[in-house]
Amino acid sequence: MTETVLPAGKLTLANSPWRGEVELQIQFYDLDPMEIVWHGRYVEYMEAARCALLDGIGYNYPAMKQSGYGWPVIDLHLRYAAPARFGQRIRVKAAIVEWENRLRIDYLISDAASGARLTRASTVQVAVQMNNHEMCFVSPPVLWHKLGLTPPAP
């Protein structure tokens, strides 16, 4: 296993070594009566980027389940800057910025052509043991290994 070298300072969407990205086109069924994307759809866009990110580190949802841990979202924050509209192509970026005691992922949704920011967001997930449904207060070693890091000594 190759140890991941982390950038100095706090990890951000821009400097995290663990990132995923998708590009999507806004569909008619995503719109609300005001003809802009309904606010709830942004969570689906974030999920697509999160899946790309997790696939990239080899720890997607089936791998999580196989490892004996579920990772439910326990916190979600969104900040809307501008609406997305029908036919628009958007880019959704996701990056892991915390992993020690929880998995925090930051997101940026932007216009694919101009790069203009539409939405910033973050989710927090925690490890839950599948066999007894107990929450872990420290991320399990499997996550550390998937990130290319050495887990802390117990």
On whether residue 38 sits in a domain, the answer given is yes
The pLDDT score that the predictor gives to residue 7 is 79
The pLDDT score that the predictor gives to residue 1 is 57
The stretch 44-52 carries a mean pLDDT of 98
On whether residue 154 sits in a domain, the answer given is no
On whether residue 152 sits in a domain, the answer given is no
On whether residue 13 sits in a domain, the answer given is no
The stretch 14-43 carries a mean pLDDT of 96
pLDDT tens per residue, range 77-89: 999 999 999 999 9
On whether residue 7 sits in a domain, the answer given is no
Does pLDDT of 11 surpass 60? yes
Does pLDDT of 154 surpass 90? no
Q: Which domain holds residue 101?
A: 19-146
The runs of H, that is alpha helices, within the chain are 41-56, 61-67, 141-146
Q: What is the CATH number of the domain that holds 35?
A: 3.10.129.10
Cβ burial 18-57 (10 Å sphere, 16+ → b, else e): bbbebebebeeebbeeeebbeeebbeebbbbbbebbbeeb
Phi, psi (deg, nearest 5) at residue 127: -75, 135
On whether residue 4 sits in a domain, the answer given is no
pLDDT tens per residue, range 87-98: 999 999 999 999
The pLDDT score that the predictor gives to residue 100 is 94
The pLDDT score that the predictor gives to residue 94 is 98
Beta carbons within 10 angstroms of residue 58's beta carbon: 10
On whether residue 32 sits in a domain, the answer given is yes
Q: How many domains does the chain have?
A: 1
The pLDDT score that the predictor gives to residue 74 is 97
On whether residue 125 sits in a domain, the answer given is yes
What is the band of 64 on the pLDDT scale with cuts at 50, 70, 90? very high
pLDDT tens per residue, range 89-139: 999 999 999 999 999 999 999 999 999 999 999 999 999 999 999 999 999
